[in-house]
Amino acid sequence: MAHDHRHHDGPGHGPGHGHGPGHGAGPGHGAGDRHGHDHTDVDWAEMAPLLEAQAELYTPLYRQAMAWLAQEAADPGLIVDAGSGPGVVSCLFADAFPGARVVAADGAAPLLERAAARAARLGFTDRFGTLAGDLPDALGELDYPADLLWASQSLHHLADQRAALAAFGSHLAPGGTLAVLEGGLPARFLPRDIGIGRPGLQDRIRAVEADVFSGMRADLPGTVAETEDWPAMLTAAGLRHTGTRSFLLDLPAPLSDAARDYVTTTLSRLREQLGESLDADDRATLDRLLDPGDEVGVHRRRDLFLLVAHTVYTAVRPG
């Protein structure tokens, strides 16, 4: 039986690629107090509220993904959420698969404390565990193999993704499923032309984020460059690729207060962390967007929306 291990106050690893917290130099490229042997600037614990807000907002998308996964992994005994963060999605797994034990594994122990607290609040404690440590090695602490291993936007923080996939596969029971969420389409919040500044602001921000993501990967000690052909990588890991599907979160304007807060926080992190890579006009536009007193700002404008697609790749360990 998997159980709690909190022996390692682990790391976070750099920004990602424009999907939200930990992705893009926006949310997730924060500085500050590090945990464990962090190789970049992300303080995952400091990001907990934003990670939670994002995952809560994205819940409809995750629920669709879980319904799809249930067709392949009908009745999993053990589900492992590898790189769980604060455990919002881990708890959704506990809810969607009432017969399963769920283990949230992550390098950031403070996030796992929040995961455990959330599981307790939701009444899942008796079948919820946490595992703190560096991935993929921390999975060696599992007491038995997983029937479903979910890795959402965590794999790209690991230096050797190919080796990590093989390691994830080795912790699956025969016939078990590995589900990797990577890629898709980055979140859009604003129309192309927002009536101020040069049209296409979000596209230019995305271009900077793509470079930051590449820099994050390049800076990971022992990094291995890979063509991000996930089905081929899963096959090379000895697994049988079974499916690829993208899930949409489509929150049209006008946004709820929670969604507006999330977009505002995300844009202000982008301004803080990427602003210097944008030209002066775009910086000025972002400043107007973030000014609560400006009627064209994101606090007030009615055309703000949230549209994002996440892609999930599944593969099965041959029996």
Ligand X SMILES: C[S@@+](CC[C@H](N)C(=O)[O-])C[C@H]1O[C@@H](n2cnc3c(N)ncnc32)[C@H](O)[C@@H]1O
Q: Per rule CB under 6 A, is residue 297 in the interface with ligand X?
A: no
Where residue 11 falls (left for φ over 0; alpha for ψ -120 to 50; beta otherwise) is: beta
Residue 316, exposed/middle/buried by CB under 10 A (0-12, 13-18, 19+)? buried
In this chain, which of 43, 115, 116, 154 binds ligand X, going by CB under 6 A?
154
Query: Is residue 26 at the binding interface for ligand X, with CB under 6 A as the rule?
Result: no
Residue 238 half-sphere exposure, CB side, CA atoms within 13 Å? 16
CB of 304 to ligand X, least distance (A): 22
Q: Which region, judged by CB under 6 A, interacts with ligand X, from 78-86, 115-123, 204-212, 222-230?
A: 78-86
275 backbone dihedrals φ, ψ, rounded to 5°: -50, -40
Say if residue 296 is exposed, middle or buried (CB neighbours under 10 Å; 0-12, 13-18, 19+): middle
DSSP string, 282-293: HHHHHHHHT-TT
Residues 116-135 vs ligand X: string with x where CB under 6 A? ------------------xx
Out of 12, 18, 76, 297, name the contact with ligand X by CB under 6 A: 12
Q: How far is the CB of 283 from ligand X (least distance, A)?
A: 26
Decide: helix, strand or coil at residue 131. Answer: strand
d(CA 6, CA 113): 9
Interface mask toward ligand X for 155-184; x: CB under 6 A: --xx--------------------------
Cβ 150 to ligand X shortest distance, Å: 8
Q: How far is the CB of 203 from ligand X (least distance, A)?
A: 22
Residue 143 Cβ, how far from ligand X at the closest point, in Å? 19
CA 13 to CA 32: how far, in whole Å?
13
Read off the amino acid at residue 37: H
Q: Which region, judged by CB under 6 A, interacts with ligand X, from 6-14, 69-77, 184-192, 251-259?
A: 6-14
Report the residue from 85, 110, 169, 186 that binds ligand X according to the rule CB under 6 A: 85
Residues forming the site for ligand X (CB under 6 A): 10-13, 16, 21-23, 44, 51, 55, 83-85, 89, 106-108, 111, 134-135, 152-154, 157-158
